[in-house]
Amino acid sequence: MKKWLILCLVLFTITINSCSDSNEEAVVVTLEKLMKKWYNKDFNINGTTFSYDSHMTCGKDNIEFRPEAVYTQNDVTACEPTETTTVTGTWNLEDDIVTVFINNITTVAKITRLTETELQLTTVSDWDGDGQIETIRANFTID
């Protein structure tokens, strides 16, 4: 199964707390910057970066923060014909903390980078099921 799909499912199906790092600079979050389609780029778990290599030739997996608090997560699963699995929920933003609600599951992440072209969401979770909490930084781009 795709590593990134697993990451997205972990990020958006487990109730987690946002993490903070006193060395991080404050990120100015605006709705104009956040509300768009973000394509999966890579993710970092406890300092190790994993490239997102599961994009299909016919489309890219993505998340989208839409108006009226609509959140979508799209995974392109096949080409010819193009097939996409979409999960829909809602989202809320408070300062630099984004909360996503999907199927009665609440997920919280800190926005640790937000520019016109890049988004980084940072959270904590027991990613590998070993009982230890890992810091996860998911990186997205607009293209």
Tokens linked to 40: 């999966």
pLDDT computed for residue 54 by the predictor = 85
Alpha-carbon distance values, 24 to 20, 122, 136 (Å): 8, 11, 15
pTM of the entire predicted model: 0.81
Domains delineated in the chain: 3-141 (2.40.128.280)
pLDDT computed for residue 23 by the predictor = 54
Walk along the chain (143 residues) in steps of 10 and give the mean pLDDT of each run: 45 40 73 96 95 89 96 95 95 97 94 97 92 96 93
What are the DSSP E strand ranges found in 37-96? Answer: 37-45, 48-51, 62-66, 70-78, 83-94
Q: How far apart are CA 45 and CA 8, in angstroms?
A: 13
pLDDT computed for residue 16 by the predictor = 37
Tokens linked to 66: 């839409």
